[in-house]
Amino acid sequence: MIQQQELYSVSSRILIVDDEPNQCRSLAIGLRLEGFEVYEALDAEQALNQLEETPVHLAIVDLMMPHINGLELARRLRFLHPKMAIVLTSAYHLSERQLARLDLGAVAFLPKPYCLDELAVFLKHKLEQVVI
């Protein structure tokens, strides 16, 4: 019998949006090894185009990106894909209070750097909350 945790990782699609190619690639590789189906985008425009082709369950969005930053992308994603889980990441810490003031709805924040094992558990927990 497949455990619920395994079911979410095997069937869950994740989009990573980070303007640092090495960061994006290494995270994608690590999450693929954890069993997730992973897509990559190096900016908000690529992310939005990718989502037109392939819907995802969860987006990991870097906060600090040029042109359209992570906050604006999260707002657009929340509007276009209200059921998608969104996780903002940054080396700059945001408190729950600051995140709530951004009025993005149910958006999680994960400070960088993070351990891949801990991130995988965090993402599986977030994916359990997604109703597609």
Average the pLDDT over 7-30 and give the result: 86
Query: How many Å is the Cα radius of gyration of the chain?
Result: 14
Model confidence at 4: pLDDT above 50 = no
Whether 70 contacts 88, CB under 8 Å: yes
| Domains in the chain: ranges and CATH | 4-128 (3.40.50.2300)
What's the pLDDT tens digit per position in 90-115? Answer: 887 666 665 555 666 667 778 888 88
Element (H, E) at 46: helix 44-53
pLDDT at 8: 47
Whether 40 contacts 24, CB under 8 Å: yes
Q: Supply 36's token pair.
A: 């997730």
Distance (Å, rounded) from C-alpha 77 to C-alpha 86? 8
First-to-last C-alpha distance (Å) of the chain? 23
- Interaxial angle between packed helices 116-128 and 21-33, expressed in degrees from 0 to 180 and rounded to the nearest 10: 70
What's the pLDDT tens digit per position in 52-76? Answer: 999 999 999 999 899 999 989 998 9
- Give pTM, 2 decimals: 0.83
